[in-house]
Amino acid sequence: GAGVSQSPSNKVTEKGKDVELRCDPISGHTALYWYRQSLGQGLEFLIYFQGNSAPDKSGLPSDRFSAERTGGSVSTLTIQRTQQEDSAVYLCASSRDHGSDAQYFGPGTRLLVL
């Protein structure tokens, strides 16, 4: 079956521009997660959705970061006024339900801010 998909796979942008990253979870998965990973580092939790609600936004690094999920499916992570330190791989994962189920990751979006 289809796994988690993310687009674009790579994004190069200039400092100060806004970017939108998209995640399509596995069909039927109610929980969706966004993480950020810098080269050689661990996963940094950003936000998770249960359905269309985001009970935990504690990981968003600043108010330049926002995310939404519509129809209990696709999610978009938006970074406004990008900075060079935003450069990283942004990973999306989904699970059947939140809390105790395994997460399945998409291939990530590699973001480079020049």
Partner 1 sequence: RKEVEQDPGPFNVPEGATVAFNCTYSNSASQSFFWYRQDCRKEPKLLMSVYSSGNEDGRFTAQLNRASQYISLLIRDSKLSDSATYLCAVCEGKSTFGDGTTLTVKP
Interface residues toward partner 1, by CB under 8 A: 33, 41-43, 45, 48, 56, 91, 98-108
Nearer to partner 1, 12 or 17 (CB): 12
Query: In the bound complex, what is the minimum distance in angstroms from residue 5's beta carbon to partner 1?
Result: 11
Q: How many CB atoms lie within 10 A of CB 16?
A: 10
Of 82 and 103, which has the nearer Cβ to partner 1?
103
Shortest spacing between CB 4 and partner 1, in angstroms: 8
* Rounded-to-integer distance, Cα 39 and Cα 53, Å: 30
CB neighbourhood size of 87 (10 A): 18
Question: Toward partner 1, which CB reaches closer, 80 or 105?
Answer: 105
Smallest distance, partner 1 to C-beta of residue 33, A: 8
